[in-house]
């Protein structure tokens, strides 16, 4: 028996899947993402602010802290400041005061500011959700996913760096479960992923694993019963912030392209699908077009257009694609796509029997 908790930390939602490999039914929840709940918490707190914790998703949190710094003092530790920007001078330029973690208690006692902790993994909140399932708050494995741009050592393009980081393992075999890392295996440059995994160690679990959310979604979509096992197919995951289009052939990831969801038009999405299937992808070209990057192992071919599985919370944007998409539902639920991928990759890494819920 293995009790497994999967956490997909997105820009819009936190998706949770609890599985006991000896029970027939999983339990799941889709709730507001930490980046939203913590931003709201910041807005509710009055006056000066002390910010500790680690790197998490920015977006609304960054904007809330920048607004507060225009009217009040905001002290922030280096680890938490990485949420806003990896350049300390940029953070200072926004009016926030960087302090060392050891100074936080002194600041609290001397000035009495409100206090907020930045973290993608909120232990108490997760405890309440899991206990609400009516199951024990104890796990053999925790697997989480989120997007981390990475911190290039040279200070160069984080998108180029991220591309190189994932390209090596993918070219060695193209199997996605090999990019599900144990907490201690996560590359040092993936600071946000490492921060989340470190926070997840506060959960009562035997081992913690972590993965890129786009790759987890590609792995999860393939669990849809309509995904063909004998020919190539496409996965189109349209998430809140980023959209991934990937070509798969069995266990192999043939190609992958990623763009910002906010930049999507029907024409651009159609072109992305065509180019991914044809292998007409170039990382530099996609970056120049405003995209997030691309990986090409080989062309899957026009045959892959015969099955386009669309997943993600914004997948309605794919409604006009031709050929028509199939509305993917791994484990019977589109919003469990990332969690399904985490679970399948974990089972492969740990040598557990793969789990299927139809």
Contact 176, 143 (CB under 8 A): no
Helix 34-44 vs helix 60-69: crossing angle, to nearest 10: 20
Q: pLDDT band at residue 270, thresholds of 50, 70 and 90?
A: very high
The residues, ordered by sequence, that sit 6+ positions from 179 with a Cβ below 8 Å of its Cβ are 166, 169, 170, 211, 212, 215, 345
Please choose, from the candidates 26, 6, 9, the residue with its C-alpha nearest in 3D space to the C-alpha of residue 347: 6
CATH architecture assignment, domain 225-328: 2-Layer Sandwich (3.30)
Residue 214 clears pLDDT 90, i.e. is over it: yes
Q: Which CATH number fits domain 35-118: 3.30.200, 1.20.120, 3.30.420, 3.40.50?
A: 3.40.50
Residue 232 clears pLDDT 70, i.e. is over it: yes
- Domains in the chain: boundaries: 3-31+123-215, 35-118, 225-328
Report d(CA 30, CA 13) in Å as an integer. 6
pLDDT for 132 equals 97
**Average pLDDT value for the chain:** 93
Question: How many CB atoms are located within 10 Å of the residue 58 CB?
Answer: 18
pLDDT for 163 equals 72
Mean pLDDT of all residues in 125-132: 97
Report d(CA 201, CA 144) in Å as an integer. 11
C-alpha distances (whole Å) from 99 to each of 74, 107, 115, 125, 167 are 10, 9, 14, 27, 37
C-alpha distances (whole Å) from 32 to each of 35, 84, 226, 305 are 8, 20, 29, 34
Contact 297, 170 (CB under 8 A): yes
Mean pLDDT of all residues in 317-338: 94
Contact 277, 300 (CB under 8 A): yes
Question: How many CB atoms are located within 10 Å of the residue 183 CB?
Answer: 19
pTM, rounded to two decimals: 0.94
Residues 13-41: pLDDT tens digits?
999 999 998 887 899 999 999 999 999 99
Question: How many CB atoms are located within 10 Å of the residue 12 CB?
Answer: 16
pLDDT for 33 equals 97
Please choose, from the candidates 312, 311, 307, 337, the residue with its C-alpha nearest in 3D space to the C-alpha of residue 324: 307
Q: What percent of the chain has pLDDT over 90?
A: 81
Contact 98, 77 (CB under 8 A): yes
**Listed range (36-40, 153-157, 194-198, 329-333) with the worst mean pLDDT:** 153-157
Residue 283 clears pLDDT 90, i.e. is over it: no
pLDDT for 273 equals 96
Residues 44-87: pLDDT tens digits?
999 999 999 999 999 999 999 999 999 999 999 999 999 999 99
Q: Which residue has the tokens 């969690």?
A: 339
Q: pLDDT band at residue 158, thresholds of 50, 70 and 90?
A: low
Phi and psi at residue 227, to the nearest 5°: -70, 120
Residue 247 clears pLDDT 60, i.e. is over it: yes
The residues, ordered by sequence, that sit 6+ positions from 107 with a Cβ below 8 Å of its Cβ are 50, 75, 99, 113
Residue 174 clears pLDDT 70, i.e. is over it: no
Structural tokens at position 203: 């959960």
Q: pLDDT band at residue 179, thresholds of 50, 70 and 90?
A: very high
DSSP category for residue 236: E
DSSP category for residue 113: -
pLDDT for 303 equals 96
Q: What's the number of CA atoms in the CB half-sphere (13 Å) around residue 19?
A: 24
* Range 116-133 burial, b when 16+ CB lie within 10 A, else e: bebbbbbeeebeebbeee
Residues 107-122: pLDDT tens digits?
999 999 999 999 999 9
Report d(CA 40, CA 207) in Å as an integer. 31
Report d(CA 229, CA 233) in Å as an integer. 9
């Amino acid at each position: 028996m293995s009790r497994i908790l999967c956490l997909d930390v997105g820009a819009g939602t936190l998706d949770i899947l609890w599985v006991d490999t000896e029970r027939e039914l999983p339990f799941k929840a889709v709730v507001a993402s930490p980046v939203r709940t913590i931003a709201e918490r910041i807005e509710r707190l009055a006056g000066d602010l002390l910010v500790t914790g680690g790197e998490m998703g920015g977006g609304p949190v960054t904007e809330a802290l920048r607004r507060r710094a225009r009217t009040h003092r905001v002290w922030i530790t280096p680890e938490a400041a990485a949420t806003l920007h990896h350049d300390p001078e940029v953070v200072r330029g926004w009016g926030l005061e960087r302090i060392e973690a050891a100074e936080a208690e002194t600041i609290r006692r001397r000035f009495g500011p409100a206090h907020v902790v930045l973290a993608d993994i909120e232990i108490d909140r997760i405890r309440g959700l899991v206990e609400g399932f009516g199951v024990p708050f104890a796990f053999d494995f925790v697997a989480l996913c989120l997007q981390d741009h990475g911190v290039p050592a040279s200070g160069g393009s984080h998108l180029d760096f991220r591309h190189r980081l994932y390209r090596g393992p993918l070219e060695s075999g193209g199997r996605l479960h090999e990019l599900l890392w144990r907490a201690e295996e996560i590359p040092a440059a993936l600071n946000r992923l490492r921060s989340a995994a470190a926070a997840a160690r506060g959960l009562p679990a035997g081992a913690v694993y972590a993965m890129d959310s786009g790759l987890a979604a590609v792995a999860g979509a393939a669990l849809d019963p309509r995904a063909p096992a004998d020919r190539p197919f496409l996965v189109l995951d349209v998430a809140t912030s980023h959209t991934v289009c990937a070509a798969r052939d069995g266990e192999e990831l043939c190609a992958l392209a990623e763009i910002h969801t906010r930049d999507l038009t029907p024409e651009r999405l159609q072109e992305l699908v065509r180019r991914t299937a044809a292998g007409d992808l170039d990382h530099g070209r996609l970056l120049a077009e405003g995209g997030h990057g691309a990986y090409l192992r080989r062309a899957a071919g026009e045959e892959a257009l015969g099955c386009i599985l669309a997943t993600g919370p914004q997948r309605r944007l794919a409604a006009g694609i031709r050929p028509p998409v199939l509305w993917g539902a791994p484990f019977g639920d589109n919003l469990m796509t990332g969690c399904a991928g985490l679970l399948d990759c974990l089972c492969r890494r740990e040598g557990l029997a793969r789990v299927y819920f139809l």
